Amino acid sequence: MAPDGSAHPLLDHIREHDRRMVLLRHSAALLHWDQETYMPGAGDTGRSEQIALLESLAHEELSSPALGELLEQANANNDVSSPGNLDEALLRELLRAHRRAVRVPTRLVEELARTSSSAQSAWRRAREEAHFAAFRPALERLLSLRREYADAVGWEGSPYDALLDEYEPFTSTSEVQAVFDELQPRLTDLTRRIAESGRPVNSEILYRDYPVEAQERFGRRVLKAVGFEFERGRLDISTHPFSTALGADDVRITTRYNSRFLPSGIFGTIHEAGHALYELGFGEGIRGSSLAEGASLGIHESQSRFWENIVGRSLAFWKQFYPELQRCFPAQLAGFPLEDFYRAINVVQPSLIRVEADEVTYGLHVILRFELEKALIEGDLAVSELPDAWNASSKRLLGVEPSNDAEGVLQDIHWSMGAFGYFPTYALGNLYSACFTEAMQQELGSLDTLVERGDFAAVLDWLRRNIHATGRSLSPQELCSQLTGSPLQAEPFLNYLEAKYTPIYELS
């Protein structure tokens, strides 16, 4: 922007376009949230049309020639912005999104929104019945539309690149594949060593009867302790836990409870709190703009995995909260030692359900989904072959095979949303979380010490200053290099796993 301020009127017009787009996105998010929480089942058709209209309006705003002309006049470009220059960052992000949007016809945006909304309802019914065939037609239609979308956006190496870039900007399929090729054998080796250690970990305590009402009370106590502000957010229940921002001061969390498996509700709630704290922590200079988003979904996931695992599954955390959990469930936990509970919540056992997987095998779940959806998008796998391919991959990577479709191919909501390219961000989030934790400890000292004394404010303050406040003004690569001095690496995460699980399983 010109230093004499002559470009300010241009920037004001651009900000107004951006403000309308953000409001439309938040309005659509509200409808999505209601669909997953309180909407009556018969409302599916009308809701699909409502969401399609809002998303088409947002797309028209983003792809409008008027915005393109304004961005050109403002000399917007894709270059890395000057550190701290939010105007340059906003122009860069809007130009990138505008160029993508103009390649995609509004008709396709509407059809994707309409189809994904109805597909989510079809997925829920199919999942309840554990019957993939009931979901197959919707998935086939969504897959066709997403391929069309990828072709419209354009790609070079793989059509999957165009979809991955929506969630993990400036990252290619080949780069993800290279990371996973390094990660998978190391995770497999650690899983094998743990299995061969011969040290039993009794997790039976987690499968007793835990009334949902008490689980929710405990979860709310934890949310408040880590800094979630209920005057700026809500906690509700949905089939698949998620968090969503409906505004700068309105962030919703959902979770799900299993009265016969305690970790599901506890760690699902903490996980979504990590996402919500990120959304609530954007700096004043970016609130209400397109920069008020995560730098990428991998960065977003780094926050949820940090709170869920690095903090929430640590011994230091439970030194704080285990006495209170025992008071919530005296009959179930009375006399059960803290150290045994810590080992139980960190048991490593290949399992079927991703959201309930342990830290070591979780990445293998993500790799499974990445391989399958990449094959679907590239045309190497037909939707009709997906259940068998899923079961075979589960057996190969995890050593377990689903007994029905609900345990396997139907367990995640993402494909019913058309969110192909999303899954790799989960594993990337694990890697980022470990890198950022190392950087945090260099400044604050031992994380365990802070957590054990309940100083979550210091932890959140560091995250706010170094990650949350900048939002999307930095790319994930810029953010990682700025905080750690190097690009994303797998080694800090693998070191974290080794350091944690070696004493639990007495590994050599």
The structure tokens listed for 234 are 């809500």
What does the pLDDT read at residue 239? 85
What does the pLDDT read at residue 140? 97
- Among all residues, which ones are annotated catalytic? 272
Domain match, 100 and 217 both: no
What does the DSSP assignment read for 19-72?
Answer: HHHHHHHHHHHHHHHHHHHT--GGGHHHHHHHHHHHHHHHHHHHH-HHHHHHHH
- The length of the chain, given as a count of residues: 508
Q: Residue 323 — left, alpha, or beta (φ > 0 → left; ψ -120 to 50 → alpha)?
A: alpha
Mean pLDDT is lowest, of 335-344, 347-356, 456-465, for 347-356
The structure tokens listed for 323 are 């006495």
- Rounded to an integer, what is the distance from CA 383 to the centroid of its chain? 24
Residue range of the domain that includes 426: 173-505
The residue among 110, 246, 80 whose CA lies nearest residue 170 is: 80
Residue 80 in domain: yes
Give the whole-angstrom CA distance, residue 105 versus residue 151: 12
Domain match, 472 and 357 both: yes
Residue 1 in domain: no
Q: What is the mean pLDDT of residues 34-57?
A: 92
DSSP 103: T
The structure tokens listed for 377 are 């998008």
33 has pLDDT over 90: yes
Domain match, 367 and 488 both: yes
CA dihedral for 114, 117, 121, 124, sign (positive or negative):
positive
Place of tokens 């589960």: 394
Residue 161 in domain: no
Residue 32 binned pLDDT confidence (cut-offs 50, 70, 90): very high
The last residue of a domain, from among 123, 154, 185: 154
The last residue of a domain, from among 94, 125, 154: 154
Give the whole-angstrom CA distance, residue 343 versus residue 186: 22
The residue among 78, 235, 163 whose CA lies nearest residue 424 is: 163
- In this structure, the strands spanning 243-247 and 233-237 are unpaired
CA dihedral for 466, 467, 473, 475, sign (positive or negative):
positive
Give the whole-angstrom CA distance, residue 411 versus residue 425: 18
Say what percent of the chain tops pLDDT 70. 98
351 has pLDDT over 80: yes
Domain match, 210 and 264 both: yes
What does the DSSP assignment read for 136-184?
Answer: HHHHHHHHHHHHHHHHHH--SS-HHHHHHHHHSTT--HHHHHHHHHHHH
Place of tokens 């009370």: 217
Q: Treating both helix axes as pointing N-terminal to C-terminal, what angle do 424-444 and 491-505 enclose, rounded to 10 degrees?
A: 80
Over the chain, what is the mean pLDDT?
94
Q: What is the mean pLDDT of residues 321-337?
A: 96
Domain match, 93 and 120 both: yes
CA dihedral for 104, 110, 113, 115, sign (positive or negative):
negative
Q: What is the mean pLDDT of residues 213-241?
A: 96
Residue with the bigger pLDDT between 481 and 41: it is: 481
Domain match, 283 and 181 both: yes
Q: Treating both helix axes as pointing N-terminal to C-terminal, what angle do 173-196 and 424-444 enclose, rounded to 10 degrees?
A: 80
Residue 217 in domain: yes
Domain match, 194 and 136 both: no
**Measuring CA to CA, how many Å separate 289 from each of 22, 448, 470?**
6, 35, 12
Give the whole-angstrom CA distance, residue 375 versus residue 382: 8
Residue 218 in domain: yes
Give the whole-angstrom CA distance, residue 450 versus residue 507: 27
Q: What is the mean pLDDT of residues 175-191?
A: 94
Classify burial at 497, counting beta carbons within 10 Å of its beta carbon; exposed 0-12, middle 13-18, buried 19 or more: buried
> Coil, helix or strand for 398?
helix
Domain match, 221 and 191 both: yes
User: How many domains, in total, are found in the chain?
Assistant: 2
Q: Treating both helix axes as pointing N-terminal to C-terminal, what angle do 424-444 and 359-377 enclose, rounded to 10 degrees?
A: 140
What does the pLDDT read at residue 83? 63
State pTM to two decimals: 0.90
Domain match, 179 and 83 both: no
Task: Report residue 307: phi and psi, to 5°.
Answer: -70, -40
The residue among 150, 146, 130, 149 whose CA lies nearest residue 138 is: 146
Q: What is the mean pLDDT of residues 211-232?
A: 98
Residue 165 in domain: no
Give the whole-angstrom CA distance, residue 77 versus residue 153: 18
- Give 46's contacts (C-beta < 8 A, 6+ positions apart): none
Domain match, 148 and 177 both: no
The last residue of a domain, from among 94, 122, 154: 154
Write out pLDDT tens, residues 257-291: 999 999 999 999 999 999 999 999 999 999 999 99
177 has pLDDT over 70: yes
Q: What is the mean pLDDT of residues 130-149?
A: 97
Give the whole-angstrom CA distance, residue 182 versus residue 169: 21
CATH of the domain at 400: 1.10.1370.30
Beta bridge partners of 265: none
Residue 80 binned pLDDT confidence (cut-offs 50, 70, 90): low
Domain match, 132 and 225 both: no
Largest CA distance in the chain: 71
Classify burial at 484, counting beta carbons within 10 Å of its beta carbon; exposed 0-12, middle 13-18, buried 19 or more: middle
Residue 270 in domain: yes
Residue 212 in domain: yes
Domain match, 133 and 183 both: no
